[in-house]
Structure 1
Amino acid sequence: MSSLKNKCNASGSRLLSLLAGFALAGYTAAPLYAFTPFQAPLLSTAAVAPNVMVLLDNSGSMNTVIYHNGFNSKTDYPTAMYCKAGTSCTVNNKDHWTETATLSGHDDVAQGDCSAGYYKLGARNAYKVSKKTVYYPGSAGQTVCIPFPDELQINSSGTMSDEVDMPKNYLEYLVQGLLAGTFSAVDIPTGHRMGVAKSVAKQVIADNFSGVRFGLASFRPGSDASGSTGETYKQQGGIILSDLGAAQSTLDTQINSMYGTTWTPLAEAYYDVVRYYRGLASSYNSAPATPSNQVQYRCQKNFGIVVTDGAPTYDTKFYNASTDPDRDNPSVGGADNLPNWDGLNPAPPAPYSDGNSSVSLGSEGHSYYLDDIASFAYDVDIRPTASTLDNAGKSFEDSAFNKQSIRTYTVGFNADNQMLKDAAYYGRGKYYTASDRAGLSSALSQALNEISAQAGSGGAGASSSSSLTTSTRYYKTLYDPADWRGTIEAYSLSETTGRLVSRAWTTDSTITPSNNGASYETYNTATNAVVSLSYSNVSTGQQAILDADLPSGITGTQLVDWAKGSTVTGLRTRTVLLGDVINSTLERLSSTERLASSVTGDNSYNTYMSAKAAMTNSLLVNSNDGFFHVINAETGGHRYAFMPSSVFPSLHTVAATDYATGGSHKFMVDGGITVADAELGSTWSTVAVAGMGGGGKSMFAVKLFSAGNNTIGALWQITAPATSSPANAFNNLGYTYSKPLVARTSDNEWVAIFGNGYGSHLGKASLYVVNLRTGALIQEIVVDANDDGTAPNGLSSPQMVVNAQYQVQKVYAGDLRGNLWEFDFSSATGSVANSGNPLFSAEVNHPITARPLVVEHTEGGHLVLFGTGKLMEAEDKLSTELQTFYGIWDKNGVTGTVESTSLQEQTFTEAVDITANGSTQTYYKTSENEVDWDTRRGWYLPLSLDGAREGERVIYPAQTTMGRVIFVTAKVDADDPCQSTGSGKLVELDALSGKMLSYPVLDTNGDGRIDDGDTRVSGLAIDGGLPGQPVIIDAGEQKKTQGKYILDSTGEVVVVDECGEVNNGQCGGVSQSRRIMWRQLQ
């Protein structure tokens, strides 16, 4: 079998480096887990869950308290003293706190004269202290009560279960600060580093577990607790506590068992982690034995995260180079095989990050070799043997992925040193700092977000007309993961052949730092107003967000300027401004297209259409530079950009200088767009409504044109609260993948209607109805209000039925659980139809993520056409679940959920290879079963030939033309998640019955005509990449054909010629115009 003929690649070799911006219409979250969008295109190597080994510091210093944020360890605070038991606080009866003194007994812990919940010690020096402690710092009767870590418990007899370290200087800081009233006891952190690190690590792993293969490592404990013998260097190096891919409960158990008990051999321990990845035995432990192959796939990404609170100690002995050929080179030397993999030399005086310093072996900062091991981890090929096969049976030396390495991320917990920065730099990762629970949680979460975001591929297209003329243009989107540049290209089409002829323009040259005439807007969340995009125009809270996490010397003002196209030293340099376009639809704004209608007796819309002729034809697209863009369709010039304020927290990420080179990606504004004509108050306007997809939980609307006013301006923005807030009207709004609808209600109020999306705080599926002019909530219709939320749900993109006045009558939408819902809008207030029950429920694991198609049924009511399946999370690439395409009859006057047993089955019956013009193409035939509408409520077509389970699915809405239903399927190699192009089918069936058409519909013999000389088929294979949603263009009266333009995931445009006219059941005759949404007339 071969790829489809008639593929056009007008831009030649350029598409070898550019990937298509492919609208996956998806989300990323595993079933039964909290929804967290995967921050990368799914058609990428990142769809394989990455390996992440967390090296968690368990040195003795991790027992130290979390400091109050005002403490400076370099400041010498006044000495604090305590009174000896049974004596007055005179000079002779005072002792001061010493750095070395320890509390040896705990039987005298008591509340004393502190308030409830606070405790005091007896007359002993205290360096290791209890949970709640009182100190007597100077004069008789003066008492200071200090809270201590919640992780430590005191039993009824006053005995502590553990100890925590407190430097003398910090205790003195607390005593003096409390006496001076600088802060109060409630401001003092009640945690210690080990306790916080364990708690945060468990939570962050739980939040990311569905998409990451975690493992856990630590420093080898301070004693040989295992009792094993023969260790090369006892009490040094690292130990693997949990293998990669361990169960979450196993990871939790190991984390819970960790205590601060040893030195800080950072480089030694991380070298053991690298050896583990390579399948080599530990340098320092005789057990466990040589680890099994932990790298599953040749395309799998591998990472180490090092979390530590200090500089190394006892970190200078490394494995014999003769037994490790990859390290047997001039970079390793000396009796202890000290590494110099990064090529740096020590450069005293301190601080420095390489080699040995002059302090003793057990002192912090004696040696700095972590950066060398991190560099080695990235440089070495951890699976270098061609004969070694991955889990897909492919060689690890596959030319597409011929090297597997490890990137290193470092987190300094109450530590900020050059060694950790260098280790991240040479390990091609990132460095983070944290000083408390919130900071550590943020640092680990950011590191995992970076790890999860990798490069991918995809595509989307649009046309300037539904009929082919000399002026017809085809537009396609591309993106380049090398720099996350987005590109839109406009092509002229041949009126004779319908093929792409020449490129008219590209945004690579029309939207650049030196060529950018757009106006910019955003939303001020304090004033709830649209404002011109500038730092000074947003609220102080928004300014704080823009100022956060920026490189040294960069301001929020500069960040905003960069977003608008300015070049800022210290931020990422761009040659083109449009960001990558991946899941967004590409919509064309036409001055002649009718997108609404007037109510009876009102001619105002016809008047508006006359004025609309002055509107500038434009393209609308969301992109992951953080903007909704309006682009001149004729020239490619930049007209307007709106940045939802939900983008602000992520803007620094895409502006970072290493955003592209680090291989990471972040979704920003990535949802679908709807264009409509509507009355805003009493004024007709053309409006766009859009969502952010995986970039956030916001919807927004932009006025594109109104009578006599060609100025573009945003109308509103709505956003879910950051944390669940029942009082917030949009508390159940999830990541906004739903493509909105715009229509009148029965009382003539113009509204936007959309599904709540995925990953909401409540995890329920609902339909939102908002005022189109203001964004104010009119109604939220929850379909599963009584659900307990144990299996989170969300409503996908809806479709509607309107009457001649463009008043919405019905809405249909699917959800993640495979339910198809009908909503009744016959009155001003919408409701779930069918007595609150689904119209239909697909089988388990058959989510409905694509918008349904609704057509009129010949016997009354409506036929709802949709497919099931998703391509939204990493696990989907491995799914072989059998998905289905359905036609469900919503029969007038009949209620109750349609049962699967009442549907007529259709099947794929045969794959046929046909050779024409020297090229062989695979076509598919399907069954021709009639549907008995007296007993049946629809039909279904399993997406399989001969029952084979290949994971084929539907991720795009179906379309209709001339009584046919057209849809494309998506299939990836379920046995090889590294495969990144995919394949699919173009399928065309009789819409009413789902059977194979009675006439030839495709030019199977390649003679340029569609007639009885062609074979009757129901579709064809598209092998070169995942097919996107077709753009249908009539070829004109002379040719009597239609062209379907399909942009696949490699960037190629597949053009399929097919029957464009049907007369008396045969191809040819009077042309019938296509309808994407059929209206019910009243």
Structure 2
Amino acid sequence: MNRSLKISAKSSLCLSTQLSSVSVASKIVVAALLAQLGASTALAVPYSLAQQPAGTGGREPAPNVILSIDDSGSMGWDVNGCMTMDWDFAYYGSRFDAGASAGNCPARESNPNPSRMASLKSALFSQFGDASLATPTKGKIPDGRIRLAWQAMWNNGRGNDNQAGNLTVGNLNSMKPFSGTHRANFSSFVTSLRAKQGTPSHKMMENVYNYMRSPVGDNSPWADNPGSSQSTAYLACRRTYHVFMTDGAWNTDGGRTAGNADGSSLTLGDGITSYSPTSSQSRVYKDGFGAEADKPSTLADFAFRSWATDLQDGTGSTQNMANSVRPLIRKSGTETVINPANGHSTALQEFWNSKNDPATWQHIVQHTIGFGNAAVTWSGVPVWDPQTDNTYGGDYAMLVNGDITWQNPIAVAESNRSFELWHMALNGRGKFYPARNAEALTAAFSDILDNVIIDTSTSLVSVAANASRIQTDTLVYVAGYESAAWNGHLQAYAVTNAGVSSTASWDAATLLSAAVPANRVVLSYNGSAGIPFRWGSLPSSSPAIQRTYLNSADTRGAERVDYLRGVRTTEGAAANTFRTRTSVLGDIVNSNIWYLGAPTSASGLAGYAAFASANASRVPMLYVGANDGMLHGFVASSGANRTAGSERIAYVPAGAYPNLSNYTQQAYTHRYFVDGSPFSGDVKVGSTWRTYLAGFMGAGGKGYFVLDVTDPSTTNFAESNASSLVVLDKTMPTDDDVGSIFAQPSKDPANPTRAVQFTMMNNDRPALILGNGVNSTNERPVLLIQYLDGAKEVLPLIASTATGGSNGLGNPQVIDINGDGKADLVYAGDLKGNLWKFDVSKASPSNWKVSFGGNPLYTAADSGGTRQPIMTAPVWLPHPKGGIMLGFTTGRTLTSADRTDTSQQTLYGVWDNTVLALGANQTLTVTDDPAKRVTDGQDSLVQQNMGTVVLTTVAGRSFFTHAANPVNYGTTGINPNRRGWYMNFTDSGERASSNPYWFNGNYVMVPSAVPASGTDSNTETCSLTSVREVGSLTVVDLIKGAPPKLPVFDTDGGGFTGSEVVSSKVSNQDDSVSFSTGGGQGKLLGTKCIGDGNCSGLGTDKHWGGTVTGWRER
């Protein structure tokens, strides 16, 4: 039942000059759990909604990638070693290629096969994109995801000279973010490549080493933005990769040497770890060649030197960068490598295992690609296994155990040197990719880029946070997340007289991960009805958009559905596996837990008593949205045939599908999915009462959905009932007025598990009333009346017809004036600071309207005229002079920029003195008088000032109060008559955090907060910065704007003894707080108190009464 205000001749409280008295049918009690909405910052359309919690959004620096390309003459041959027209000379044969014999090849003019160079160009364009096309492509690399430098052996494809510095700071091909002009330059480079001359591989390796040893300067490859001046230290955690691609062995060394780097004792780049070539741990790396003065080093020596050396150690004018590169450990602990031929074994320590890259210093990881038979074939040891093409296969175990050693590439024939590509990769902690044909070459580049992106996509720190809590008589339920793997939790803690237990009774995440995926009840929507979320249930023909989205990344949609349902066998670290999860339950950030037990409304409407009786013993449930693409329903407490914390139902909204494939990717970047807060209500559909639950995507997408949660028994919550359990889904809206909805429940005082947004309308149809949210196509404020019966159509009440204004309607307050269980008035604010009133009191929808002639009741703006957004629902009380007194707060937190916005936000008390009159049979008449608007902004109100002097501090919480200026109410709003009051928030950046709510008598409780902030999601960083939320609660007389007359809070921590300070505001500088009190002395329990047995709550005096609320940190 809606909160109602009955008006009768026997009442003593005047609502209007035409009514003698009123009586309150039900006790006015409002309680709101929280949601994060806030600050006002002018932004371009549409709003760029934040997709990560504050302080978890910074991204690991884009890696340096150096691409070295073989443009030697043999690249003019095909993969079989036969000439093509890309070769400069005309004759038959294979020259030096072991893959073909002279005379076995066609004339180059008639060779149907593409040259290796042509295949190379095709592979590069497919993976890196082609900016030269009329419609440029980007391959698999988004703009800025890597930084790229490149070189080719012969003057970068333009000549015969290989002695010039092909890779030099400031050159066209030097390190820059891979986007824009740099993309275009790379495409031009690829296009210009032509096969010529020999293979000077040593020069290429030396170029890379010298380039990454470049001194400090604007064009340094380590600079944050090469080419721009920089006064701060370079990001020391940036990774560097070298991809060396060749079609055969080197034949020109140019006298370059790195010494016998892998065969000499040295101290590694951390300045601590010693490398010894005589150790059993180093046998796979070392060889005995490269020390002779008249002989070149091996290519493996160059690779080892580039890995083992701190490339930016402060010597040679380099920057002395911190050793902050994150180790990559793919095989943790000790691995015993056994030679199956003789049983010899070596216990490789984690650091020396070539599968791992433990280096923390600035170094180069080496990947190699051998293209064509000549690059993957050699005689003698070590033997490569062509069946597996595994870097750690073949004779790898023999090398590790010292049963064989590397050949001397200097002493063998050119055709036998290709094994060096394998040795180089192991010494540089990378992989060797044998590519025998064009398809394998493309796959090699693809896999390398996949792994580079995966390697640089790990969360920088593990941030754990409790994001939502709700309390019953015996349990506190807490939801939250850990950002390291973006897993969530929903835990229950026992509540006793001594406080909250420090140990969770259960965690839904643990139970869900242990559940059998095939047995889960997961539902979805096919565009017209509810369906099971299984691949076979998704439409396979028009429209097949859900399958298309799930297949979009790799055509593995069926496996992806199984993964989302909880199958773990496809998880792993390899590029062809799905992202590894620590829990099947995704992170829970902005979605508040909704508890639903037995029906408890005091509704006297026909049939409700029988409905409540029939469902008195239904299973209590917890509903919450998670960023795994689902709304989850968990059993709240144990009982007959039920396990507390077990999942009964989950729902994948239609609007989640466009991004579900990203959720499974190794390089997953966090985004919100089902991040809105669900709430429920009892509605009469036809002749039957039902309990419906509304869910929202929040910043995860547009629209809303409704589920029938009347009966959560296992027989009813079943996939076979999907069509009846899913009432509607409008998360892929075609309505241009539906945006991303950040709804909070305005609770029915008679039933705290019912939101007043579920209501009966005066045309006797059940409905869900919502603000249309932000980023709708039309960008205007609209009240959505979503019918829940019949055709389930939407009736929009458009507050402002102007489109494209970056506007939208926030949370509505629904008021039943005459107590008949039907909505009469709705108040809601918008992003432009307008407080709108909607009159839905008539029986015919054609008479429903925006009050005051289509104008707002009030427009919130600060003293300088800057509009203040209103996104939370107003709280209301009857005014002693008639009409309705409304309390509302301003501010928003939608974008990352909003978190640090310091625009002045305000708490308002505004009197709507519209005449409300009752006729026969409680028939309501609402007079619409545009002259009743408050048009002079703050000039029509009395300013109240919250004190900034701390009265006292206890347990990290500071207490304040304010003095009240008298408010002389008058209809004109012109001095000395006023239409209310306002009070600016005093902390910099403080703004509304959730709906204000009724507390006691004329007093209301107002939650506010300075939101958490931290590294922006677009900022490259080696360490995240995070400033936690600081929440506040203000108690104020809504009519007078005055502080309480008696103590509200225990300001000395010793319980209420009579010595407490009378305060009107508490600001928590230690941890966010929440409180629960059922008429006795209560405690404000912080979300960070949960699980901490030493955490004391903030007391509230028993004479104030009260209800459940929340005040939390994000």
Question: In structure 1, the residue corresponding to 2:759 is in which secondary structure?
Answer: strand
Equivalent position amino acid for 1:416 in 2: T
Q: Which has the higher strand share?
A: 1
State TM-score, norm by structure 1: 0.64
* Alpha-carbon separation, structure 2, partners of 1:674 and 1:260: 57
Report what 2:885 is aligned to. Answer: 863
Task: Name the counterpart of 2:657.
Answer: 648
Alignment pair present for 1:459 and 2:474: no
Contact 2:459 2:485 in 1 (8 A): no
Match of 1:468 in 2: none
Compute the displacement of 1:100 (Å): 7.6
| Deviation at residue 944 of structure 1 after TM alignment | 1.6
- AA aligned to 2:614 is A
| Cα RMSD, aligned residues only | 5.9
Would you say 1:837 and 2:855 are equivalent positions? yes
Q: Does 1:236 align with 2:131?
A: no
Which amino acid counterpart does residue 481 of structure 1 have in structure 2? S
Structure 2 residue 779 is matched with structure 1 residue 769: no
After superposition, the C-alpha distances for 1:492-535 in whole angstroms (9 at most, x for unaligned) are: 323x4565587543324543424789752433425x11122321
What secondary structure, in the 3-state scheme, does the structure 1 residue paired with 2:794 have? strand
Higher relative contact order (CA 8 A, sep 6+): 2
**Which amino acid is the alignment partner of residue 1030 of structure 2?**
S
Matches within 5 A, 1:370-769: 416-418=442-444, 421-422=447-448, 424-425=450-451, 428-429=454-455, 457-464=465-472, 471-494=473-496, 496=497, 499=500, 503-514=504-515, 520-525=521-526, 528-540=528-540, 541-542=544-545, 544-545=547-548, 548=551, 555-570=556-571, 571=578, 577-594=584-601, 598=605, 603-635=606-638, 636=644, 637-655=646-664, 658=666, 664-705=669-710, 711-712=716-717, 714-719=725-730, 721=732, 729-739=734-744, 741-769=757-785
Query: 1:545 & 1:783 partners in 2: Cα distance?
Result: 37
Rounded Cα–Cα distance in structure 2 between residues aligned with 1:30 and 1:272: 48
Q: Find the partner of 1:971 among 1000, 1010, 1016.
A: 1010
**Which whole-Å deviations, capped at 9, do the CAs of 1:361-388 have from their partners, x for residues lacking one?**
9xx9997999899979xxxxxxxxxxxx
Contact 2:959 2:1064 in 1 (8 A): yes
Q: Give the C-alpha shift of residue 282 in structure 1.
A: 3.1
Q: Secondary structure at the match of 2:657?
A: helix
Query: 1:1020 matched to which residue of 2?
Result: 1066
CA spacing shift, 1:648–1:373, aligned 2, 3 Å: farther
Q: 1:1033: which partner in 2?
A: 1077
Letter in 2 for 1:457: A
Q: What is the CA distance between 1:268 and its match in structure 2?
A: 9.3
Secondary structure, counterpart of 1:1034 in structure 2: coil
Contact 1:766 1:795 in 2 (8 A): yes
Q: CA deviation at 1:866?
A: 2.8
Q: Distance in 2 between matches of 1:234 and 1:284?
A: 19
Q: CA deviation at 1:745?
A: 1.6
AA aligned opposite 2:853? S
Question: Residues 537 and 428 (structure 1 numbering): CA distance in 2 closer, same or farther, change over 3 Å?
Answer: closer
Work out whether 1:38 is the aligned partner of 2:50: yes
What is aligned with 1:1047?
A: 1087
Shift of 1:891: 2.9
1:260 positional shift = 0.6
In the alignment, the residues of structure 2 paired with residue 305 and residue 895 of structure 1 have an alpha-carbon distance, to the nearest angstrom, of 66
Correspondence for 1:282 among 174, 199, 220? 220
**2:1098 counterpart residue number:** 1056
Residue by residue, what CA displacement relative to the aligned partner does 1:219-244 show, whole Å, maximum 9, x if unpaired? 4899999xxxxx99533256588999
**Cα deviations across residues 170-213 of structure 1 (Å, max 9, x unaligned)?**
999xxxxxxxxxxxxxxxx9x9922359956799989xxxxxx9
- How far is the alpha carbon of 1:964 from its aligned partner? 2.1
Aligned CA distance change for structure 1 residues 589 and 290 (closer, same or farther; 3 Å)? closer
Q: Is the 8 A contact 2:744 2:995 kept in 1?
A: no
Tell me, yes or no, if structure 1 residue 795 matches structure 2 residue 797: no
Shift of 1:1007: 3.3
Corresponding residue for 1:817?
832
**1:585-642 residue CA offsets vs partner (Å, 9 max, x unmatched):** 11111214217552xxxx3222222222132222111122322222222122322222
Cα displacement (A) at 1:720: 5.3
Q: Tell me by how many angstroms 1:270 deviates.
A: 8.9
1:205 and 1:251 map into 2 onto residues whose CA distance is: 8
CA contact (8 A) 1:371 1:422 kept: no
Q: Which amino acid aligns with 2:302?
A: L
Q: Residue deviations 1:471-498, cap 9 Å, x none?
A: 533222233334433222223323x456
Q: Is contact 1:847-1:868 (8 Å) kept?
A: yes
2:132 to 182, 187, 195: 195
The 8 Å contact of residues 222 and 261 in structure 1, kept in 2 or not, is answered as no
SS in 1 for 2:991: coil
SS of 2:801 mapped into structure 1 = coil
Partner amino acid, structure 2, of 1:837: N
Query: Do the aligned partners of 2:60 and 2:459 also contact (CA within 8 Å) in 1?
Result: yes
Taking only the aligned residue pairs, the percentage that are identical comes to 20
Whether contact under 8 Å (1:764, 1:784) holds in the other structure is yes
Supply the distance in 2 between the matched residues of 1:596 and 1:75 (Cα, whole angstroms).
84
TM-superposed deviation, 1:99: 5.0
| Match among 328, 338, 341 for residue 302 of structure 2 | 338
Alpha-carbon distance in structure 2 between the residues aligned to 1:557 and 1:801? 47
Query: In the superposition, relative to structure 1, how do residues 171 and 422 fare at CA in structure 2: closer, same or farther (>3 Å)?
Result: closer
2:189 to 255, 261, 267: 261
Label 1:732 to 1:1072 Cα distance change in 2 as closer, same or farther (>3 A): closer
Cα drift, residue 872 of structure 1? 3.6
Determine the C-alpha separation between the residues in 2 that align with 1:1048 and 1:304.
40
Distance 1:339 1:967, change over 3 A: farther
1:995 aligns with 2:995: no
Specify the SS of the correspondent of 2:131: helix
* Residue segments in structure 1 that go unaligned for 5+ positions in a row: 1-20, 62-72, 77-96, 102-126, 128-164, 173-188, 207-212, 226-230, 377-411, 431-446, 465-470, 722-727, 1063-1070, 1077-1082
Q: Which residue of 1 aligns with 2:27?
A: none
Cα 1:169–1:692 shift into 2, 3 Å:
closer
Q: What amino acid maps onto 1:716 in structure 2? A: V
Q: How many angstroms does 1:923 deviate by?
A: 1.3
The aligned residue for residue 292 of structure 1 is: 230
Supply the AA of the counterpart residue of 1:479: Y
Change (3 A) 1:794 1:370: farther
- Rounded to whole Å, the distance in 2 between the matches of 1:170 and 1:422 is 15
Following superposition of structure 1 onto structure 2, how do residues 833-912 of structure 1 map, counting pairs within 5 Å?
833-838=851-856, 839-843=858-862, 844=866, 846-892=868-914, 893=929, 894-895=932-933, 897=935, 899-912=937-950
Corresponding residue number in structure 2 for 1:439: none
Change (3 A) 1:1048 1:897: farther
- Distance, in Å, in 2 between the alignment partners of 1:852 and 1:243 is 58
State the alpha-carbon separation in 1 of the partners of residues 248 and 984 from structure 2. Answer: 60
SS in structure 1 of the partner of residue 764 of structure 2: coil
